[in-house]
Amino acid sequence: MPIAFGSATTATANNVASNSLSVPSGTVDGDMLLIGICVSESAGVAPTVTGFTLKASHNGVQDGGAYNHDVTTTLFWRRASSEPASYTVNNDGTYGKYAAMAMLRYTGVIVTGDPFRTSATVSRTNVIAGSATSVALTGVQASDMALHLAGACLGNWNGTDWNPAGPGGGWVERGEIIATAATSTPGVLFVEQFGTGTAPAFTATGSTNLGWVFAAGALMEEPAGGGASKIHSTAVRRASTW
């Protein structure tokens, strides 16, 4: 079964250390759940969500540059199992209280082990701009779902609203949310496409004063017949020799 997007939820945090993020509608056991978070004022911040596994995280402040912009973008995953209605996202206890986040649900993802064939992160905070390009992925196969999470917030905290967009074409947008009530106005946007390692370009309207940090990965499809039992598979192999 090819990987397919199911549904999504979003949330924001405005000067709070933690907040609730709902589980997407239609979630059943075995579905793949992804959480993408962008936190501003984030030097030293590592967002956490109990029950989810951290896949990739990048803090823009570590890359220096003229702006030394402290934006953290983080990607988590979990296989659904007796899901609650929502999860608590811990942004940070002291700083990092301004955040935007999305949870995506996918079906058809490999049912055991790390679901990502490859992953990568990159910061573009050395240049504050209205557009930026994510990071390329290596080794992506045709059946893999390439996902790129863009996290960004304002370079100066004037509360300006803004709107992100992916490159279009084969890239489909998922889980967009902007924390317009927060002075740093953090936002997230996922884009997805099958079978490509190309780094997509993102743009924004409403502001060119943005620091961008990206996290990306390629989800693997569950192999055909991957759920068959060992006994059944052995019987089929034996039957094929008769």
Beta-carbon neighbour count of residue 231 at 10 Å? Answer: 8
> How much is the pTM?
0.90
The mean per-residue pLDDT over the stretch 16-37 comes to 97
Q: What values do phi and psi take at 63, rounded to 5?
A: -90, -5
Least confident of 67-71, 78-82, 181-185: 67-71
**Mean pLDDT, range 182-211, rounded to an integer:** 93
**Residue 21 pLDDT:** 98
Give me the percent of the chain exceeding a pLDDT of 90.
66
CA angle (204, 208, 211) in 5-degree steps: 85
Q: Where are the domains of the chain?
A: 4-239
Each residue's pLDDT tens digit, 140-159: 999 999 999 999 988 777 76
93: exposed, middle or buried (C-beta count within 10 Å: 0-12, 13-18, 19+)? Answer: exposed
Token pair for residue 199?
């780094």
Per-residue model confidence (pLDDT) at position 182: 73
Q: Name the phi and psi angles at 115, rounded to 5.
A: -80, -10
> Of the ranges 8-17, 43-52, 56-65, which one carries the lowest mean pLDDT score?
56-65
| Torsion sign (Cα): 226, 227, 229, 234 | negative
pLDDT of residue 176: 98
Q: Which of 137, 100, 105, 139 is nearest to 19 (CA)?
A: 100
Residue 237 has what pLDDT?
A: 35
Q: pLDDT band for position 181 (50/70/90)? A: confident
Provide the total of helices (H) and of strands (E) in the chain, helices listed first.
1, 15
Q: Looking at residue 183, what is its pLDDT? A: 78
Residue 209 amino acid letter: N
Cα separation, 49 vs 75, in Å, equals 11
